[in-house]
Amino acid sequence: MKKKLLTVLGSLALSAVLLVMAAPSIVHGLGLHPDYDGPTYKLPGKKALIIGTNHGVLNKVGETTGAPTGAQASELTHPYYGFLDAGMEVDIASIKGGVIPIDPQTLGRMVATPEDKRYLEDAALKAKLETSIKIADLDFTQYDAIFLSGGWGAAYDLGYSQVLGEKIADAYYAKRPIIGSVCHGALGLIRAKDKTGKPIIAGRKVTGVTDKQIKQLGITLTPMHPESELRKAGALYESQTAFFDIFATHVVIDDEQRFVTGQNQNSSHVTAHKIMEIISKRP
């Protein structure tokens, strides 16, 4: 009897170990961070700008303590390495300049992507995130691609920056940059105004993380939620859903092909490559 019990316990322990080992593959199979298998591009001589958050604490507005947060790893690493591997020059910027924190939870074993692991060994990218360029010091019109990365931290600064709104508007009217975002990064679009003072995204198809996903994850304390704010700005908000929206994905290109937006962390690869596709077709 004792021997049989030990055998059963041993089998259960082995099953538990195997389940833990297989867990990343299981969540990947359910739809988290799908592999990118579409076309790739070579764009030497082109320039990309990736913008991340400076905010690194998950808290209510006015509080100074909370869990560490920041940019969602894959929402920065996927476009960065996509652009870099295409031969583009890639700059990293933020509202204040300086450190762009990476949310440590998004580098965990269950969710880390190959690009995230590449970042952990990449001294050059780490240095860029420690010393990001202040957006006020940049001319956005000199870039071919501008990409607003998301993450919980972005809810605290991207949508509040008047300077970012003005820079996005400058980029839009310059007609050169393709402007992209993913997840909470879409908040960086809401303050960009057209020449009549209306939001540039009003009447334009865009996406960002759903209110449903935010509620399902139980993180509603952030001051801005992309779906709500995009709708308030008059955008034609689109999204896909799933039994749990963290497994959904959606990418939207506006009719003018100037804005390419991704719904959530699953959309980063495709968003970046759709931007490059548009750039590659230009004369």
Residues (pLDDT < 50) of the chain are 6-22
Do 6 and 131 fall within a single domain? no
Residue 14 is predicted with a pLDDT of: 34
Do 62 and 18 fall within a single domain? no
Do 7 and 118 fall within a single domain? no
For residue 246, give the CATH number of its domain. Answer: 3.40.50.880
Q: Count structural domains, the chain.
A: 2
Parent domain of 25? 1-30
Do 116 and 243 fall within a single domain? yes
249/34 Cα distance (integer angstroms):
9
Do 21 and 107 fall within a single domain? no
Q: Model's pTM, two decimal places?
A: 0.92
Residue 23 is predicted with a pLDDT of: 65
Do 8 and 100 fall within a single domain? no
Do 7 and 53 fall within a single domain? no
Residue 143 is predicted with a pLDDT of: 98
Residue 247 is predicted with a pLDDT of: 97
Do 61 and 24 fall within a single domain? no
Maximum pairwise Cα distance, the chain: 82
Residue 20 is predicted with a pLDDT of: 35
Residue 90 is assigned to a structural domain of this protein:
yes
Residue 37 is assigned to a structural domain of this protein:
no
Do 5 and 80 fall within a single domain? no
Q: Are 227 and 197 in contact (CB under 8 A)?
A: no
Residue 36 is assigned to a structural domain of this protein:
no
Do 135 and 231 fall within a single domain? yes
Residue 17 is predicted with a pLDDT of: 33
214/210 Cα distance (integer angstroms):
7
Do 272 and 133 fall within a single domain? yes
Residue 122 is assigned to a structural domain of this protein:
yes
Do 2 and 92 fall within a single domain? no
Residue 35 is assigned to a structural domain of this protein:
no
Which of these, 265, 185, 166, 254, lies nearest to 226 by C-alpha position? 185
